[in-house]
Structure 1
Amino acid sequence: MKVGPVSAAGFKYPFFSVIAAKIEMDDTLSTTFQQMNINSRIIEVFNQILNNEENILSIVTNIGRNQISILANYETEEMLALKMHTAMEEISELPENFRCSIVLGIGRPCDDLMTVNRSYEEALEALNYREMDKTIQLISHKDINFVQKYLDYPIELEQQIIGNVLSGDYVKLEQVLNEIIDRNRHAINTYLILNDLYNTLMATANKIIQRSSANNEEEVFDEAVISIYKNKEIEGLESMKDLVFGIYRYMIDTLYGKKESKNDDLKNQMIQYIGSHYDSDISLAKLAEHFEMNPKYLSRFFKDQTGINFVQYVNRLRIEHAKELLINDKNLHIDEVGEKVGYLNKNTFITTFKKQEGMTPGKFRGLS
């Protein structure tokens, strides 16, 4: 039933909307009395702005410690929006002891009181999908109809994130994180989706933390550092990106640092072993057997860590020791020098020595 020019409640304009207002205190430690005082002052502002003008009538109700509901009866949507902005500006100019911000969600217009409940539900939904901004703001339900309301976060992208972190590839990780943000670009300006995205990416980070801890006897990550990223409040898209990219960068740096430390230990053990066995029939296969590693993997690892392959390293070590013997023990025959540093074949020793030093062992001894 459409409301006529005059009703028992005093409404006389063709449209109705419900406005849900959420009051956010700047001081989170405010008392209930302070909150009620602020609510009363804000209700007073709305009553003054909305009920002292033509073309708008309203009923303003306190419905909770930090929520207000407004039933507005009005001539045009433009007039309602104008008065809402006027009220918000006046609230923003309240004295210091009233410091707060207010968020308004406006339900779509109804042309009778029978369907006003729909407008109330829409006003609440507008609050949930408001822009993630701590400043005063207003959002109409009609402006959120296009918004993506569910997070787009495929499992394969999460697996790529985990894999990139564990492999230490920050470049690819950053590409995947940006892809996820782009997939949700039309939704991340809203409060609910932005928080969902932040919490989901933090949950993925937590999976990596738990997996890494399960595979190590000692603690991998500093809990104090992790808590800094997880307990900070996001204020917008950029602050969310800073926190998310920050925690993933920290995890990669930590895991890579520990991996490098372990690699250094293993490399030093290998060098020490070679240094003790270079004068014997040492080989890559024997080295791999001693360290219980796959020969092909060990070969790649050794070259990555030292810059040269296993054979080159052993030959350099043997020739350096051979030079010392050639200089310091003139009584040793060339063949004996070769044998003492691990070359059982005289020709192999001479060829390797000449390749490395540019002259034969005999000429080197003569010049020395």
Structure 2
Amino acid sequence: MWRISLSHLKPYLQNHSLLSRLIMSFLLVIMMITAFHFFSFSFLKNRIQQEIIKYNSLNLKYTAESYEKHLQLIENTMVNLFFDEKMNVIKSNPTVDNFKLLNLFSSQLQRLASNEQLYLADIIIYFGDSGLTIGKEGVRSANDLFQTDLINETYSYFFWQDQISKPYHYKVFPTAEFKRVVSAKQISSRGMLVPVVFKNRLNPNMYFITLIEANEAYKAFFRGIDDNFYISDDSGQVLFSSNPANQPLQSELQTFASSGEGSASQGNNFYFYKKERSSGLTYVHVVPNNTISSQIQRLNMILLIILSLVIVISILISIYLSSRFSSPVRQIIEAIQKPNQALAMGTSIHEFNLISEKIGTMMVRNEEISSDLHHKNSIIKKYGYINKLKSIYSSYNKVEEDLLESGSPFYLVIFSVAFTREFHKLFAAEPTRASYYINELIQLNLSEAFPKSVTIQVEKDQIFSLIFVNEQDPQDQSGKLLEKLRWLGQIFDRDQDYYLLTMAVNPVLRSSTEFTEAYEETLEMLQLRKMMPGTQMIIEPIPESFHLLLAPSLDQEFFNHLQAGNDAVVQIVQRMLQQLHKKDANLYQYTHLSREIVGRVIKTLTAANIDTNATLGTESPYKKLQTCMTVDDYSLFFEDFLYQSLSMIREKKMGQEPLKDAILSYMHRHYQEDISLESVAEKFNLSSGYLSIFFKEKTQTNFLYYLNELRINKAKELLLGTNMKIHDVGEQVGFQNANSFIRLFKKFTGIPPGEYRRMNHIS
């Protein structure tokens, strides 16, 4: 291909043509860029080396910060464990007498150790007085633990016993391999672990031992290319080493610790170090000098390769762009003469691009207008069908005149979709989308058998289809339609756990003058659905006596038991449902009975001055009734609805306030959390406005004041009963901001929390 292109361009290159001048100009620019590259690279070489050093320094900084944050996280966790309610009881009697409580606390340690973000192999609480330990695997004596489950020559039982008297808050010890006894003849490794000891001045006879998985933490926190990372203390002792073969000398580590932060080149290595004040640990990353040099050489090679590619690509592009200048006028003429042919775009001439773009835009717009008109015509036609079905007057009569083309006879089919409880449980927000897919499925299948059919969704749960047929064979068409609908029913029965479909069709051919009458008649036929699962097809019109077959009325026995709050009401309703079932009642009769029962219960609750919102929740029982499609559905609904209502009636008679007690109990259990009026309302299935009014009425104070007063009272207990800091007390009782805690404490007591603690201690 390139041979043909070059032979075609050869005559233009031999003379002083525009093509040859363009190519020479490109080559000149490329030569200038190449010269600039070699000149600037020598200047940038040192800068690149500095950037590489900066990159490694930042990597070490991020690594050190990650380790420090992790240690701080573990320390905070240990503080929380120290002040845990169960731990307060254990500290007073750290013996096996509290075996049940010790096991509960051991389970809590097991959950913490299983947190993958902490990278902990174990958490051990060591009580020096009793020699007892609590770990994630249970309660054991210290001698047994360190001789069977945490075996290491350096960290023996006597080593841990000796740490009781050491005066430090927390300390990180060197990494070591710990082992455990699996059986009498087998000892397995627990891996390389970093022991970290945490103490608390409030109880010097106990401390926490956390065993961090060294390699897992290293993989998670270290950011660098070379595997030469070390952690040391002020004395230069190595606490963790990723590559002992290249480990710095102790004197060098001491120098790094005293310097604080920086980098240094010594021998064949480049050292990056950073000391953290909070922990006193020094983090060191060793990078061989040849690594930095190889990075610079690799960068130089990459730049040379890129430059070579740019030169080659630039030459090819110059030839290609130059060739695009040939015969632009001929392409414009061909585009005008052949409007249906794809228009060639993207030449080097701006004017030609502009003309081509305008011609292409006109052609595309013409196609869009044609498609849009076709789509809108379809929408207007469907809108006209709906108007005619529901007898809605339209000022544009031309649409309705064109609907039933040439007076074609038709069959009318109405599909009613009812979604079950299982559907609402799994797809609470998807009924509209599901109805759309059902509509598309019906339209696709009916249009295959009857090409002139029209399917439209007129309600959220209702779809109708017009089946236009030839008058020559109406009987054959009727049988074909019923057969197709039965086949569709088998398809829909596959999903009967999620929705139930009712198909109503009168297999009598209708004329265009009976359009609205056929729709209303077929719509009423939907009420003949029987209370059983599966798709049902109704082909018989409603009998004249249909509206006289109402459900049985509620008797005086029902009313008396309901007012007394007796559970016999449930049996009465179940008996009524069984009577309807024996009479093979339809959907209309079940709906009539159910609405009468729900209405009578709500009136009784209202007359007894019972809050129906607390009983019924945010969802109306009438809406729940819409999901009942079988006798079992109605039975389950009334069991839940009636037992809940009867319980409220009985509680009202006994003078109880169950909702108030439940809300106050919840607040007293969760006051330390970030709770609000909205979150509590959502917890009890109430609106925030209603809960505010209800709380004010029952407690004579508003929600926020009650919550703040509860938190301040709990804060008083902590101020006098513990040595916790002021801001820690605020966080413990639910205040995220220390200033807000101090301000509200002063508002309720008249003095700040610190002054309150001093005054009460003095008194």
Q: TM-score, normalised by structure 2?
A: 0.26
Q: TM-score, normalised by structure 1?
A: 0.49
Larger Rg: 2
